[in-house]
A and B are shown apart, each in its own frame.
Chain A
Amino acid sequence: MQKRKRIITYLLPVAFAMILVVVLAFGVLFIRNSLMKLTIEERSSQLEEMVTQIRTNLDNGLQTHWNLVAGLNNAVQGNHFKDSQDVSENIAHMENDFCTDMYGCRVMLLDEQGTAYLSDGPAGIWYDISHLLDGEKRHTFVSETDTIDGSFLVFSQELDTPITMGDDKIRFTHVVLLKDIRTVKQYYTTTTYGGSAATYIIKKNGTLVYFDADIDDVIGARNVYKALEEAEYVQGRSFDMIKEQLDKNGIAAANILLDQTEYYYCLTTLDDYDMTLMLLIPADAVAISTMNMMNSTVRTLTIFISVIALLMLLAFFSLIKVQRSSQMVKLEQETNKELNQLRLMAESANAAKSTFLNNMSHDIRTPMNAIIGFTNIAMKHSPSPEIKNCLDKISDSSDHLLALINDVLDISRIESGKIQYMPTPVDIAEVSNSVLTIMSGYLSNRNINFQTEVEEPQARYVLTDAVRVREILVNILGNAVKFTNDGGTVTYAVSYDKEKDEKYIHVRYRITDTGIGMSEEFVDHIFDEFSQEEHGARTQYKGTGLGMTITKKYVDLMGGTILVESKKGVGSTFIVDLPMEITDECEVKKTDYAVDKVDLTGLKVLLAEDNDLNAEIAIVQLEELGMQITRAGDGDEVVNIFTDNPPGTFDIILMDVMMPNKNGYEATNAIRNLKNRPDGEEIPIIAMTANAFAEDVQASMEAGMNGHLSKPIVMDEVIKTIARNLDR
């Protein structure tokens, strides 16, 4: 009896404890596996997003080159060449006219036997002539033969009428544009995966036609599809499933094991071409932050569970003496509850990552608005020199912090493919003017000889993204000014090059300075994230180290090129070459208002702002301009104030978005749909919010607002936006 009692006293608790630990361990395993699955989906989806962007870039790039080929076709039609030297000279002329540095291409004419004629003479029978025999007039493929050194993306067009040479015995039947494959790289290269992504161009039957990467070709086969078929798939998938998805959606991604290493690959077909693009990336380079977060979550969970388990064991032993059986049941229930909560925590951590980007923007911009706003207000109240000194430092620091936030967000968004190139009609000369206006601020307290050499464009109106172009130029010019000592020179030159087919124009910006220059080693890394050359006095030239990275990414996004030449102690030259489609003048909206000529005195403004600090800043600054402000503290209140006052009480509503009760979109919707208040449909409503992304602007417009101002507020922008909406 005594022995049995001892067993119950000691062994039973131990058995229960062990069971508890095992249950907890399985719980952690379950959560971990769920997280792993979510992570794989997240990584595949991120990869697909990236490849979709690449496909769009590549499609656009290929189409641009077909336009070039059409130009070449027109240029050669009707010619008769005297001899092969005449042919070479004509080709050289065409290369000069059509093949700018950006296109990196050569022109070739093919005679009936397949002899290739280049600018430097006949080059023998082209090995790839067999690609042109299927009866189609146009062909695109990758060529890597002995006929011409190098690898080229071929754009071949059969001539409508053959061209003759000499006594007409030689007839040219095809004009071919050979684009150096290295220049195609700009369309598919991504730095997101730290240079470990391999790019494969594959025929529809799986045959490899081009491989490009800094790493070894781990597939190592002529038929890539066969290799993918034989690879080991994770998550019970197979190549057949991936191929089916590819055929259906034009894009598919999966993770596989090759030689015991996990890789992610993503395939996407290029419509109209026998080309499929594949990105192959080692798993440990895909969505690193997501993986780190997942691993850290699992680690935290493991530690947490271990501690819980330990505590439970201790509690278990202490409680067992008092209420062994009932306590055990209760403890088990508690444990299950805890596990459930932990699972929910883990899931919400994953969801939090997805919304982090947006929240970071809003939540940091809101206090930044207060800091910058109040600093500006304080500066206007004639502070003492000591206080002014402090305010200047606050102002500098907050400007820097804002720049850093903006740059970090921009980088993240570009890399996740959320920023897309959306060209709109623009007066390109006006873009230059606005850049110069911005730069005048940078130059105001500097003794720098700023020279401009701006050509008059042959076509002013183009399709481009003015904001991004401006950002590129201001970034480069800002650096030029920053890194040039007083007494030095910064030159801003703009030239234009119109293409033969008259649809496109190349805008070339050349920015030269006589500043401190850069070392050769640094120039190679200038576009890397957070790259800043060590000058020995970093504070003298402070920056985020992301400006040039963003600049390069924007240039890539627009299908352009950027070249840098620099010599330490002598200066730097940046050349940005951007192709832009020409558009009609009528499509360009004249939008700008001269701030100093706008009079907003007496304007009645209904301001919806839940944050007291932000409200105070806005009220002070708007009232300084003579406006009369009525404040609403949330979404409900703004609707009520508008409803309770007769039509005409307010000229305009400035609306915060993230507010309690009703958010800005809901409040706008309510005002726009008020019964018996037709003025509710017409009153201008301007979003004034810390949500600053392009999709936020889009959301404001879709909610029925007339404009969008992002915080921290810039008074000039506020004035312009109000003036534009009230036509003042």
Chain B
Amino acid sequence: MKRAVCILLSVVMAATLFMGCGNQNGKEENDVKTQTDEQGNVVSKADEQENAVSQGEQKEKVVVACWGNQMLDTYTEYLCDLFPEVEFEFVLATNSTDYYRFRQDHDDMPDILTVRRFALKDAVLLKDYLYDLSNTELASTYYGSYLDSYTYDDGSVNWLPTCEEVDGIIINKTLFDEYNVPIPTDYESFIDACETFEEAGIRSFVSDFSADYTCMEVLQGASIPMLQSIEGRKWRQQYESGATQELSKEVWLPIFENFFDFKEKVGLGAEDATYQNRTPKELFSEGKAAMFRGTGADVISFPGRGQDEVLLLPYFGQTEQNNWYLTYPTFQIAASNKGMDDPEREKLILDIMTAMVNQQGQDHISYGKNMVPYKKDVTLELMPEMDNLKPYMEQNKLYIRLASNEMFRISKDVVQMILNDEVKTPEEALAVFNEELAGEEPGTEIVAHIDTAYSNDFTPEHGNQAASAIANTMRVLSGVDLVFMQSCYAASDIYAGDYSQKDLGYLAKNDGGWPGLMELTGDQIYTLVETTLSMTGNRGAVCNDSTLYVSSGFEMDITKTESGYTLNALTIEGEELDRSKTYSFLIYGERDWYMSEVMEQMGVEEVDSTGPKAEGYLMQRLVEEGGQLEAPTDYIIMR
């Protein structure tokens, strides 16, 4: 019997061994759970995550640099809602890739980067610090022909575009009808229209030629057929790959000839070179100008005299077949490769990026129905004012602007010289442009030193110290009693050390930030702060701690609730703000949407926006005066 048991045991053991061998190839159960649905939309795990958060678990911090304050409208709020387990820190960056070079120089790259002005030529300098998206599902959802211009020679991809902003000539159709001017269909009829309006005492075509992007876009827009010719495209490919660093005479001399012709026939001059962003739009809104260069977003913001019908027309060529719209991605996104070796962190960042560019994300960017998608799985509706665009989309007559940093800078220099008659011939313009292309970039020499570093992380005890230092400096230099500014306009930590003029600008340089100098009573200031804290869907809305406002000259006592923030009291050095007293007050923020909204709520009509921007105050204190920033103050009590 014992023998039989022994034999049985041995056989069982052998069989077990053999069976073990046979199962080595068995498929392991895959229990990885996905967070995205079939359309690539991120599915919120709100219940699970909110439970985790309520149980006091540490939130994962993700720093997102926003290229412009448009993103504060509903986009940042959308991300906060979708990822409650994430502590987002939003900063308002500038719109160029060089800002990220500055952040990387201080080993302080944000987790997610966004940028408006983009050229692979500029972006390649960041390649080593950014995450390669080429092996992600996210990249595979783009049309290959669009993504080719984001792909490096080695096949890697750092940046992905969101939807496409469309730029052209905005016309007041009602005004055209009133003056019996036919809607232009080509360059000749456009010039005819200009002459008719000028004779009638109405500015025909105006634009903010003080802005580099306007100079660059009008220069390129007036000659898109040349830039899109085979020769033009070949030159561009060489320029963007770094094979050439000068404008080709064959391509660019006709472009300058066209611009001189445009300037003469439209009647542009030295005055136009001084026009700032708002001037042409105000002329247009008042019916004093018939046309201006603008985007789909401008069509929404500046609808003529209120009830006027406006249209976005293309840049005109010699024939209708040569008309083109100028376009560019409203912004590009990328991720730092810092921390991406942790699979969980990597997945989170990619999920956030997916949410930024999927259908929901792009709906939040193109909420005005004024943009065109680059992704296969996104559909965006267009508003009626942009109906003209549809045949051009079908024919792919959408020119993507050449937008390297130097193109912006030098286009502005040369176009302004042409408008001021400092450069008198196309040949001279080409020579000056090439000379600047070959020269050193200005503003790179050291001009200032900051002794003390300040963090722009928000803490309930001290608020945002970097933003506070900037706001306090602005208050002292502007001579006002009080300053109120959204803290994310401080675009990074303030690092101690030497600064060039260019890098100094990156501390607080967002084109969308404007000063609003006004006289306010204590009551109005209460209204201002309460309105701001409760605001949603506006370019000054607060969606989390990093987008709260910083005050200078007064303190804010606020409570953080489940739905947002409420104001308890405003104090000056601990004493409650006198509601009846009048204070000189500087609001720093977006002026067309945010500032007009709070002014309406406060019943204020007078505002002076001609003062310096935040960047200007930094230059004044640190460069011109050779001084230091004012020390930050504890401006907030968070309950």
- A residues near B (Cβ < 8 Å) are 10, 13-14, 17-18, 21-22, 24-25, 28-29, 32, 112-115, 122-130, 132-135, 144-147, 173, 203, 205-209, 220-223, 225-227, 230, 259-262, 302, 306, 309-310, 313-314, 317
Contact yes or no, B396 A21, CB < 8 A: no
**Do B140 and A220 have beta carbons less than 8 Å apart?**
yes
Q: Would you call A113 and B228 a contact (CB within 8 A)?
A: yes
Known: A32-B21, A223-B135. 7 other contacts (CB 8 A): A17-B7, A21-B13, A125-B396, A130-B145, A220-B137, A222-B157, A226-B156
Q: Mark B286-328, 1 if CB is under 8 A from A, else 0.
A: 0000000000000000000000000000000000001000000
B28 within 8 A of A: yes
Task: List the B side residues contacting A306 at CB < 8 Å.
Answer: 11, 14-15, 18
Q: Is the CB of A221 within 8 A of B140?
A: yes
Q: Are B395 and A125 in contact (CB under 8 A)?
A: yes
- B interface, by DSSP: helix, strand, loop or mixed? helix
Residue interface mask B147-181, A partner, CB < 8 A = 1: 11101011111000000000000000000000000
- From B18, B135, B394, A226 is in contact (CB under 8 Å) with B135
Given A17-B6, A146-B396, A226-B132, A207:B155 Cβ within 8 A: yes
Q: Which residues of A contact B142 (CB under 8 A)?
A: 222
Given known contacts A133-B230, A314-B7, is B145 in contact with A222 (CB within 8 Å)?
no
Given the known A-B contacts A207-B155, A259-B30, A317-B3, are A222 and B147 also in contact in the complex, defined by CB atoms under 8 Å? yes
Within 8 Å CB of A223, what residues of B? 132, 134-135, 139, 155-157
B2 nearest in chain A by CB position: A10
Interface pair A133/B6, CB less than 8 Å apart: no
Q: How far does the alpha carbon of A173 sit from the alpha carbon of B395 in the complex, in Å?
A: 19
Q: What is the minimal beta-carbon distance from A40 to any residue of chain B, in angstroms?
A: 12
Q: Which of A145, A207, A317 has the most CB of B within 10 A?
A: A207
Residues on the A chain within 8 Å of B132, using CB: 223, 226
> B129 to nearest A CB, angstroms?
18
Where the two chains meet, the residues of B that have a C-beta atom closer than 8 Å to any C-beta of A are 2-3, 6-7, 10-11, 13-15, 17-18, 21, 25, 27-28, 30, 132-137, 139-140, 142-145, 147-149, 151, 153-157, 225, 228-231, 233-234, 237, 322, 394-397
Contacts A10-B2, A133-B230, A222-B134; A125 near B140 (Cβ below 8 A): no
Residue of B nearest to A132 (CB): B230
CB closest chain-B residue, reference A32: B21
B18 & A260 in contact (Cβ 8 Å cutoff): no
A-B CB contact pairs (8 Å), 23 listed: A29-B17, A115-B395, A124-B395, A129-B230, A129-B233, A133-B234, A203-B155, A205-B151, A209-B144, A221-B135, A222-B144, A223-B135, A223-B155, A225-B155, A226-B155, A260-B30, A261-B27, A306-B11, A306-B14, A310-B11, A313-B7, A313-B10, A314-B7
A126–B228 Cα gap in the complex (Å)?
11
| Residues of chain B lying within 8 A (CB to CB) of residue A129 | 230, 233
| Complexed CA–CA distance, A13 and B3 (Å) | 10
Given the complex, which residues of A lie within 8 Å of B396, measured CB to CB?
Answer: 124-127, 146-147
Most buried by B among A24, A25, A203, A310: A25
Which B residues lie within 8 Å of A173 (CB)?
Answer: 230
Query: Of all chain B residues, which has the CB nearest A202?
Result: B155
Measured between alpha carbons, how far is A230 from B25 in the docked complex, in Å?
20
Q: Sorted from nearest, which 6 A-B pairs have the closest CB atoms?
A: A124-B395, A223-B134, A205-B155, A226-B135, A206-B155, A125-B396
The residue in chain A whose Cβ has the minimal distance to the Cβ of B19 is A302
> Which of B17, B27, B233 is in CB contact (< 8 Å) with A114?
B233
Residue in B13, B18, B145, B397 whose beta carbon sits within 8 Å of that of A302 in the complex: B18
Residues of chain B within 8 A of A314, CB atoms compared: 7
With A21-B10, A127-B396, A205-B155 as known contacts, state yes or no: A113 contacts B229, CB within 8 Å.
yes
* Neighbour of A25 across the interface among B18, B27, B147, CB < 8 A: B18
- Assess whether A130 is in contact with B135, with CB atoms less than 8 Å apart: no
B2 CB to closest chain A CB (Å) equals 6
- Count of inter-chain pairs, beta carbons less than 8 A: 139
Question: Which partner residue on chain B sits nearest A10 by CB separation?
Answer: B2
Across the interface, B134 reaches (CB within 8 A) one of A124, A127, A226, A260, namely A226
Chain B residues near A203: list those with CB within 8 A. Answer: 155
Give the docked Cα–Cα distance between A581 and B133 (Å): 47
List chain B residues, Cβ under 8 A from A227. 135
Q: Is the CB of A18 within 8 A of B13?
A: yes
Q: Which residue of A lies closest to B224 (CB)?
A: A113
> Which residues from B are CB-within-8-Å of A310?
7, 11
A126 surroundings in chain B (CB, below 8 A): 396
A203-B155, A260-B28, A306-B15 known; A130+B148 contact, CB < 8 A? yes
B21 touches A29 (CB 8 A): yes
A205 near B153: Cβ-Cβ < 8 Å: yes
Distance of A208 from chain B, by nearest CB (Å): 8
Complex CA distance for A203 and B6, rounded to whole angstroms: 64
Contacts A28-B21, A222-B140, A262-B25 known; A114 to B155 CB distance under 8 Å? no
Residues of chain A with a CB closer than 8 A to B225's CB: 113
Closest residue of chain B to A223 (Cβ to Cβ) is B134
Bound-state CA distance A123–B396 (Å) is 9
A155 CB to nearest B CB, Å: 18
> In the complex, A147→B397 CA distance in Å?
11
In the complex, what residues of B have CB within 8 A of residue A113's CB?
225, 228-230, 322
Residue of B nearest to A122 (CB): B395
**Shortest distance in angstroms between A16's beta carbon and chain B's nearest beta carbon?**
10
Q: Chain B residues near A125 (CB, 8 Å)?
A: 228, 395-397
Q: How far is B4's CA from A317's CA once the two chains are assembled, in angstroms?
A: 11
| Closest B residue by C-beta to A306 | B14
- Taking CB atoms, residues of chain B closer than 8 Å to A127 are 143, 145, 396
Residues of chain A within 8 A of B394, CB atoms compared: 124
Q: Which residue of A lies closest to B233 (CB)?
A: A133
Check B144 against A309 for contact (C-beta < 8 Å): no
- CB within 8 Å for A21 and B14 given contacts A125-B395, A125-B397, A221-B134: yes
Choose among B18, B147, B154, B395 the residue with the greatest number of A CB atoms under 10 Å from its CB: B18
Nearest CB of B to A276, in Å: 12
Q: How far is the CA of A209 from the CA of B147 in the complex (A)?
A: 11
CB distance from B487 to the nearest CB of A (A): 38
Query: Which residues of the partner chain B approach A112 to less than 8 Å between Cβ atoms?
Result: 229-231
Chain B proximity of A378: nearest CB distance (Å): 54
Complexed CA–CA distance, A209 and B145 (Å):
10
Q: A564 to chain B: closest CB distance in Å?
A: 35
Q: Which residues of B contact A124 (CB under 8 A)?
A: 394-397
A262, B26: Cα distance in complex, Å: 10
Given contacts A207-B134, A222-B140, A313-B7, contact A25 B233 (CB under 8 A): no
With A21-B10, A28-B21, A133-B234: A221-B137 Cβ-Cβ less than 8 Å: yes
A17 touches B21 (CB 8 A): no
A225 contacts across to B, CB distance below 8 A: 155
Contact A207 B151 (CB under 8 A): yes
A16 to B635, CA, bound (A): 85
Q: How far is the CB of A128 from chain B (nearest CB, A)?
A: 6
**Chain B residues, CB < 8 A from A123:** 395
**Minimum CB–CB distance for B420 against chain A, Å:** 33
Least CB distance, B374 to chain A, in whole angstroms: 12
Quick one: closest A residue to B321, CB to CB? A115
From B28, B135, B147, B397, residue with most partner A Cβ within 10 Å: B135
Note all chain A residues with C-beta closer than 8 A to B156.
223, 226
State the CA gap A115–B396 with chains docked (Å): 9
- Given the complex of chains A and B, what is the CA–CA distance between A13 and B13 in angstroms? 16
Q: Do A222 and B233 touch (CB < 8 A)?
A: no
Are A133 and B237 in touch, CB under 8 angstroms? yes
Please, how many angstroms separate the alpha-carbon atoms of A125 and B324 in the complex?
A: 11
A205 near B18 with CB under 8 A, answer no
Shortest CB-to-CB span from B620 to chain A, Å, is 46
**A13-B14 Cα distance, complex, nearest whole Å:** 16
**Contacts A32-B21, A222-B147, A230-B135 given: A260-B27 contact, CB under 8 Å?**
yes
The residue on B at minimum CB distance from A259 is B30
Separation of A230 and B17 alpha carbons in the complex (Å): 33
User: Which A residues lie within 8 Å of B15 (CB)?
Assistant: 306
Residues of B within 8 A of A207 (CB): 134, 144, 151, 155
